[in-house]
Amino acid sequence: MEPILNIDNLKVSFMTSNGEVQAVRGVSLSVGKGEILGIVGESGSGKSVTSMSILHLLADTARIKEGSSIRFDGEELIGAPKKRMREIRGEKISMIFQDPMSSLNPLIPVGKQVAEMLLEHHKDISKDEAKKAVLELFAKVRIPEPEKRYKCCPHEFSGGMRQRVMIAMALANKPELLIADEPTTALDVTIQDQILQQLRELEKEYGTSIIFITHDLGVVAELCDRVIVMYGGLVMEEAPIDEIFEHPSHPYTMGLLNSIPDMEQDKAVRLKPIPGSPPDMTNPPAGCPFAPRCPYARKICGAELPEFTQVGEGHSSRCFLLYPDAPADDNNPFRREV
């Protein structure tokens, strides 16, 4: 699959009064045309910062480091002029954010907010035409009574409805890439399911590539073609969707899988949370960032950062235990299977 987006060695830091917070420390990933890529990780793993860097939406305190590259459709976005970025935002790449309650302007009717997206990028369409297009979009994302809803303000909408408005807005210009940053996290499970279905249908209809950011592997399973697991500002594992559930090849991924509740699971078996908390990114560990929480960690894990090991077709993982010379003892979960 030809990639539409290529991120190479992305490093982002935030300058704070406590020093430099290294939020993203060399992330490389690519998204194919029409592909849905999931990025999974807990808070502070750098997944949102990675996605915000693409459209230059990071706070002023953020610094993208020398040597980072984000190529969209062959065009380098890092260092691109503001004017060019404005053309890309909303037209070629659009975003849906986590909190639909606060992502819409509370004082402007939702219809107008969506129409603005069209009018900004197409100088030749009239306000009436924009309104007509918005009503069609509303119908497409299943907002009931679009005509009536057009004039309503965000506070008159439920969370799920607002997220539908956000989706309608994001898709207004049929972008080539949609970045969805935890779009279902703030919603009820039932609404979450409807929104996911919506995204899947729209991906089919428009052929839009999607980057779907979440901390929920269950959601990834339902939607994505491929998944990237991030931790401590680094990519830990990258794999096609089936692979990640059948052959998780990083202790962190295994930890994440163990903490997903299962409907058929015996109630006596308790969920296993991953002990400990993510590393302090003002002073990131020299070795594998997961080592302090990893049940299989060796001496070397805390001292050096492992490189990627290819474990299957499009499946690679950053762990010393996958190295050919790793000891195949009982405390190595991988050597026994291979």
Q: Which CB, 77 or 274, lies closer to other proteins? A: 77
Q: Is 64 in the site for other proteins (CB under 8 A)?
A: no
Interface with other proteins includes 70 (CB under 8 A)? no
Least spacing, CB of residue 221 vs other proteins, in Å: 28
Radius of gyration (Cα) for the chain, nearest Å?
Answer: 21
Site for other proteins in 281-310 (CB under 8 A): none
Q: Based on the shown chain and the rule CB under 8 A, indicate whether residue 105 belongs to the binding site for other proteins.
A: yes
Cα 47 from Cα 38, distance rounded (Å)? 10
Return the residue of 116, 129, 193, 216 that touches other proteins, per CB under 8 A.
116
User: What is the smallest separation between the CB atom of 262 and other proteins, expressed in angstroms?
Assistant: 34
Q: Does 99 bind other proteins (CB under 8 A)?
A: yes
Work out whether 117 is an interface residue with other proteins (CB under 8 A): yes
Task: State whether residue 187 is helix, strand or coil.
Answer: coil
The angle subtended at Cα 289 by Cα 237 and Cα 280, nearest 5°, is 130
Q: How many C-beta atoms surround the C-beta of residue 335 within 10 A? A: 15
Among 166, 220, 254, 322, binds other proteins (CB under 8 A): 166
Pairing assessment for the beta strands 36-40 and 75-76 based on DSSP bridges: unpaired
Confirm or reject binding of residue 121 to other proteins (CB under 8 A). Answer: yes
Choose one: 4-12, 90-98, 133-141, 310-318; the region binding other proteins (CB under 8 A): 90-98
Any contact of residue 87 with other proteins (CB under 8 A)?
A: yes
| Alpha carbon distance 34, 23 (integer Å) | 28
Q: Which stretch binds other proteins (CB under 8 A): 100-108, 194-202, 204-212, 224-232?
A: 100-108
Is residue 62 near other proteins by the rule CB under 8 A? no
The C-alpha atoms of residue 101 and residue 191 are separated, in whole angstroms, by 14
Burial 201-222 (b: 16+ CB within 10 A, else e): ebbeeeebbbbbbbbbbebbee
Tokens of 151: 């004039």
From the list 115-123, 126-134, 262-270, 297-305, the region that binds other proteins by CB under 8 A is 115-123
Closest approach of other proteins to the CB of residue 233, in Å: 21
8: contact with other proteins by CB under 8 A = no
3-state per-residue secondary structure call for 1-69: CCEEEEEEEEEEEEEECCEEEEEEEEEEEEEECCCEEEEECCCCCCHHHHHHHHCCCCCCCEEECCCCE
Structure tokens at 67: 């040597």
Q: Could you list the residues that contact other proteins (CB under 8 A)?
A: 55, 57, 85-91, 94-95, 97, 99, 102-109, 116-117, 120-121, 153, 155, 166, 169
